[in-house]
Amino acid sequence: MDYERVELVHPHYGTVNVYRLGDTLVDTGHPCGASRERLASEVSDGALAGVERVVLTHPHIDHVGGTLTVPAVTDLPHVVFEGAEAVIRGFDAYVRRAREEMAELSAGLDDEPPEPDDRYFPVDVDYATDDVPIDGIVGPGDTVRLGPDECEVVHTPGHSSLHMSPYDAESGVMLSGDIVSTNGHFMYGPVHWDVGAYKTGLRRIRERDPDRLLPGHGDPMDDPRARVDDALAKAEAAESAILEALEAHGTLDARELAVEAFGAGEESVAFLANVASVYAIHLDERGLVEVERRPGVVASAV
């Protein structure tokens, strides 16, 4: 499988990848100014010139931003995973819901209201929600064309319930989106996350045993099995760390959990509070802890 990777600016995590495979563009970056300007330039007369169609791995803001803000990309026919069209058509509502969830999950027990993330989820953007031509909707076990290659649609939920990882068995290449992170830790994705499903998604990758992963962030991964095994181990370790922290302290809010279980510092505590929250909710679903919202997640040992 021949591909070209273009790195676009991401407002929080450095860069986000988009890929060209023949006439197909996979994912379209974030709607921040630097990302959409670079994407427009590359589509006009750069590495992405001449692309004729778009395939989206999942409908998160840093993967569909160009779709909704760059006219030359908006106008291209899109193929999406089942359920993603509704998110695109109602993207303004999704952005507001995601802002609220991220702020709420990281809230502490003080009286200060949680602050929404204006950089990551801007609301002052005119999203072209009605203009995107959805040319195809695919589901698990279907095939999706990426350039000249017909790829299996592998449903890899967890980071997003609407996440697919197209897999080309002939070359052993899988476009893994955000299911496998560069550091092996679960990447919290607002609204569509599910830690239990995340483990399922990882195991589906392991079942295919690809030779290379093309992730949504960072460099290609030439050791997929080791990466997946590491991610599964880190998920189990995160759950154990939360259980141990609650056993030691009894009750902790999300920020305290991030510090006690994950060693979060000042710069990382807001995001890791989100991660700690969704792990705690998963553990609550399994009956291993008790969670309530005050607002914010507050977890207690059982």
pLDDT in tens, 246-290: 999 999 999 999 999 999 998 888 888 889 999 999 999 999 999
Residues 135 and 262 in one domain: no
DSSP-derived 3-state class of residue 224: helix
Same domain flag for 127 and 247: no
Task: Enter the DSSP assignment of 184.
Answer: S
Q: Tell me: do 158 and 256 sit in the same domain.
A: no
Q: Is residue 159 part of a domain?
A: yes
Does residue 50 lie in a domain region? Answer: yes
* CB half-sphere exposure, 24, CA atoms < 13 A: 23
Higher pLDDT, 293 or 300: 300
In a domain, 112, yes or no: no
Same domain, 209 and 246: no
- The overall pTM is greater than 0.85: yes
Domain assignment of residue 148, given as a range: 4-106+117-231
SS3 282: helix
Q: What would the pLDDT profile of 79-127 be if each residue is shown by its tens digit? A: 999 999 999 999 999 999 999 888 777 665 455 555 667 888 999 899 9
Let me know whether 281 and 218 are in one domain: no
Q: State the CATH number of the domain containing residue 269.
A: 1.10.10
pLDDT band at 66 (very low <50, low <70, confident <90, very high): very high
> Does 137 share its domain with 285?
no
Q: Do 214 and 278 have their domain in common? A: no
Q: What is the pLDDT of residues 212-243, one digit of tens each?
A: 999 999 999 999 999 999 999 999 999 999 99
Cβ contacts of 170-174, under 8 Å, gap ≥ 24: 170/1, 171/1, 171/211, 171/212, 172/210, 172/211, 172/212, 173/1, 173/3, 173/210, 173/211, 173/212, 173/213, 173/214, 174/205, 174/208, 174/210, 174/212, 174/213, 174/214, 174/224
Structural domain count of the chain: 2
Q: Are residues 174 and 289 in the same domain?
A: no
CB 157 within 8 A of CB 37: no
Distance, CA of 254 to CA of 70 (rounded, Å): 37
Is the domain of 211 the same as that of 283?
no
